[in-house]
Chains A and B, each alone.
Chain A
């Protein structure tokens, strides 16, 4: 899938999880900047999986720390 389109969809999906309204850039980290705890990560990942009809296993999640890395991974998987 086109990276820009993926980025746009993920940006919309992340909105309800971005409780502090942090400005999201490619470098924004989930644990550090967005302060996602493990339960939030699980809920957020489930939303993305269903939106793109993909699996992001917990093993794969461990490699994804920043927003940009997530967009890259999802664009690749949704191909």
Chain B
């Protein structure tokens, strides 16, 4: 996501005018939002799920709805073994740790989930954070210090940009997935400076993957360390679900993999895995790891159980690919403009002509009984408005056909397709 806003988009508003205060800078956004809601559209950013029936169905704003906008790629949220592990941990270890990982917040379960991650990735070290956001924030801001250079894709997720902003390194973005642009910038870094290249496996807005094999090779030629965020690929892409780096055969050359428990794993939390021999020192120097409470015992227990099951998820991975291909092909045939020519991940992004019609289409789909994500600038690249569909391994083939019917009717009604 292009949320790399280090500077305000508008000059700071004067504070001395009538009725002006620190909130005046939000006036434009408040007006855009009121304008949208005044057209009678249900608020796309205020949906409530009153009941969750399964990984793929919920009662949303009172309607039985198919969920096509969650990151529950592998459908682990209602797995009976995962739930049982969480309940047991609640009984045995209580509701929360009330402490930092480095003080009283490391329970047996935190060690066990880190062991599960080391096995999942076949790597030497794993460090679990309270969220995926904090994993990027912590690792990036800690390893790249003053005088070092971070070279990153300009469509990087907000947590990557915020990790850059929190640290003191020189930050240099390059054009999305542009190998030559990355190569040139690495070549211009002063002799002797430390270099960190930050990439993502799957970019979550358009659902496209990075050319990691080529990019990692270029980074290594320049002597840079490489960090890859595999949040949207873990569990699904690659033979063992280790992500795009695995699928492209370069996982062994990636220095740090960042991931999350809040997508395929089905709960919440973040992590970094690495083979670096000095990795463990990060536990003492990484502030977003040290200065926050650790995950509750039930969460690490559900995560561990889920990660171990994902190691053997090849049938589910195959079904999810079938779903992604069918939805992508079906939407294309209906005449929708999509974010990628071919399906590359579990995310299929449908490009809307503008925010107004995007919101109308979003609402029309909701009334059909389908939830998708409405994504708008500045989270999206090139100021696009997107309806992002993220598939689940638990969507049946029939459900995907139902979804296509809903898109066809809603698209015709709103005038997105002919």
Residues in A neighbouring B172, C-beta threshold 8 A:
55, 57-58
Residues in A neighbouring B2, C-beta threshold 8 A:
39, 42
Q: Are B11 and A31 in contact (CB under 8 A)?
A: yes
Q: Are A38 and B4 in contact (CB under 8 A)?
A: yes
- Which A residues between 1 and 55 are near B, CB-CB below 8 angstroms? 29, 31-32, 37-39, 41-42, 46, 49-50, 53-55
B242 CB to closest chain A CB, in angstroms? 31
Q: Are B154 and A38 in contact (CB under 8 A)?
A: no
Residues in A neighbouring B154, C-beta threshold 8 A:
42
Given A46-B181, A50-B184, answer yes or no on A58-B11 (Cβ-Cβ < 8 Å): no
B149 CB to closest chain A CB, in angstroms? 7
The CA of A57 and the CA of B11, in the complex, are separated in Å by: 21
From A31, A50, A53, A59, B170 is in contact (CB under 8 Å) with: A59
Q: Are B171 and A59 in contact (CB under 8 A)?
A: yes
Chain B residue at smallest Cβ distance from A53: B188
B276 contacts chain A at the CB level, 8 A cutoff: no
Interface size on A, residues (CB 8 A): 20
From A41, A46, A54, A55, B175 is in contact (CB under 8 Å) with: A46
Chain B residue at smallest Cβ distance from A35: B10
The CA of A38 and the CA of B10, in the complex, are separated in Å by: 9
Q: Are A39 and B378 in contact (CB under 8 A)?
A: yes
Given A58-B173, A59-B170, answer yes or no on A38-B5 (Cβ-Cβ < 8 Å): yes
B383 contacts chain A at the CB level, 8 A cutoff: yes
Q: Are A31 and B188 in contact (CB under 8 A)?
A: no
- Which B residues between 158 and 190 are near A, CB-CB below 8 angstroms? 164, 170-175, 181, 184-185, 188-189
From B7, B149, B181, A41 is in contact (CB under 8 Å) with: B7
Q: How large is the interface on B (under 10, 10 to 19, 20 to 34, 35 or more residues)?
A: 20 to 34
Residues in A neighbouring B189, C-beta threshold 8 A:
55
Residues in A neighbouring B45, C-beta threshold 8 A:
none
A46 CB to closest chain B CB, in angstroms? 6
- Mark B361-391 against chain A: 1 for CB-CB distance below 8 A, else 0: 0000000000000000010001100000000
Q: Are A39 and B383 in contact (CB under 8 A)?
A: yes
Given A46-B174, A58-B171, answer yes or no on A38-B7 (Cβ-Cβ < 8 Å): yes
Chain A residue at smallest Cβ distance from B178: A46
The CA of A39 and the CA of B4, in the complex, are separated in Å by: 8
Chain A residue at smallest Cβ distance from B154: A42
The CA of A28 and the CA of B90, in the complex, are separated in Å by: 61
- Which B residues between 198 and 227 are near A, CB-CB below 8 angstroms? none
B6 contacts chain A at the CB level, 8 A cutoff: yes
- Which B residues between 137 and 165 are near A, CB-CB below 8 angstroms? 149, 154, 164
Residues in A neighbouring B188, C-beta threshold 8 A:
49, 53-55
Given A39-B2, A42-B154, answer yes or no on A57-B149 (Cβ-Cβ < 8 Å): yes
Residues in B neighbouring A61, C-beta threshold 8 A:
6-7
Given A57-B172, A62-B6, list of 11 further CB < 8 A pairs? A31-B8, A31-B9, A32-B11, A38-B4, A42-B173, A46-B173, A49-B188, A50-B181, A55-B172, A58-B164, A61-B7
Q: Which residues of A contact B (CB under 8 A)?
A: 29, 31-32, 37-39, 41-42, 46, 49-50, 53-55, 57-62
6 cross-chain pairs, A with B, having the tightest CB-CB distances, nearest first: A57-B170, A58-B171, A37-B9, A38-B5, A55-B188, A32-B11
16 contacts between A and B (CB under 8 A): A29-B11, A31-B7, A31-B9, A37-B9, A38-B4, A38-B5, A38-B7, A39-B382, A39-B383, A42-B4, A46-B174, A55-B149, A55-B172, A58-B172, A59-B171, A61-B6
